[in-house]
């Protein structure tokens, strides 16, 4: 049998990141790799499951919902596949992924679609784990491109899901983290004042609009 394209990738040298995996007819498949394959511990099932629910909910309620085909985890638990129509530009897909990860990292409230009627394994969810996974993607982006905006986004997300002791321990790992956090602390009260933590059912659109404003403001 012919080997499928994804098996031809050398996973021993594949770092974390977002990649263009393949194009087929009018669709584009992105590889959102959250772990170095066969090197780092894979994501837990609960975290993957919840992140899938949150990410998919966000993108399917976005302004480009009609261009979204699929979002779901890899069987190896080292990342996700994100499939869009080719009418969504690559830069648009990246921007949407960033916004979705911010939404996931800072989400509070009831996870969408977690009843027996809505989900095939509704008991297996981990909101804190999903928030942590989403936040770590910003840390990975900072390590790749060294853009301070990526590190600010990561630290802000960590503020949202970590307790005070955990966050201080994180800052102790890096002088750069401490320096960026000092600048972040000056604006975080303004940011938090502009983000109302809202329930998913009634106010998802408002939530996304507030995120866009923060993102374009170089949070």
pLDDT one-digit tens code per residue, 79-91: 999 999 999 999 8
- CB-hemisphere CA count at 13 Å for 4? 3
Mean pLDDT, range 93-97, rounded to an integer: 89
Predicted confidence band of residue 205 (pLDDT cuts 50, 70, 90):
low
Say what the pLDDT of residue 180 is: 81
Cβ neighbourhood burial of 142 (10 Å; 0-12, 13-18, 19+): buried
pLDDT in tens, 48-62: 999 999 999 999 999
Across 83-92, 129-138, 175-184, 195-204, least confident range:
195-204
Mean pLDDT, range 13-17, rounded to an integer: 84
Predicted confidence band of residue 47 (pLDDT cuts 50, 70, 90):
very high
Ramachandran quadrant class, 4 (left: phi over 0; alpha: psi -120 to 50; beta: rest):
beta
Say what the pLDDT of residue 78 is: 94
Those residues whose C-beta lies under 8 Å from the C-beta of residue 63, and which sit 6 or more positions away, are none
Distance of CA 170 to the CA centre of its chain: 19
Mean pLDDT of the chain: 82
pLDDT in tens, 145-173: 566 777 777 777 777 777 888 888 888 87
Distance of CA 94 to the CA centre of its chain: 11
Distance CA 149, CA 154 (A): 9
Say what the pLDDT of residue 187 is: 64
> What's the CATH code, domain 5-216?
3.30.1360.80
Say what the pLDDT of residue 116 is: 95
């Amino acid at each position: 049998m012919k080997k499928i394209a994804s098996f031809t990738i050398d996973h021993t040298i594949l770092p974390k990141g977002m990649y263009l995996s393949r194009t087929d007819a009018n669709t584009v498949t992105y590889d959102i790799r959250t772990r170095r394959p066969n090197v780092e511990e894979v994501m837990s099932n609960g975290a993957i499951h919840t992140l899938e629910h949150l990410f998919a909910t966000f993108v399917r309620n976005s302004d480009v919902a009609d261009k979204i085909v699929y979002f779901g985890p890899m069987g190896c638990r080292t990342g996700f596949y994100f499939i869009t129509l080719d009418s969504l530009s690559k830069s648009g897909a990246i921007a949407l992924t960033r916004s979705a990860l911010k939404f996931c990292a800072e989400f509070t409230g009831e996870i969408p679609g977690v009843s027996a009627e809505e989900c095939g394994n509704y008991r297996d969810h981990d909101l804190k784990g999903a928030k942590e996974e989403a936040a770590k993607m910003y840390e990975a982006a900072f390590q790749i491109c060294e853009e301070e905006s990526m590190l600010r986004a990561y630290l802000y997300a960590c503020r949202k899901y970590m307790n005070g002791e955990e966050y201080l321990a994180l800052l102790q790992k890096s002088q750069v983290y401490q320096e960026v956090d000092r600048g972040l602390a000056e604006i975080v009260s303004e940011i938090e004042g502009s983000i109302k933590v809202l329930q998913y059912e009634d106010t998802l659109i408002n939530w996304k609009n507030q995120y866009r404003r923060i993102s374009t403001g170089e949070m």
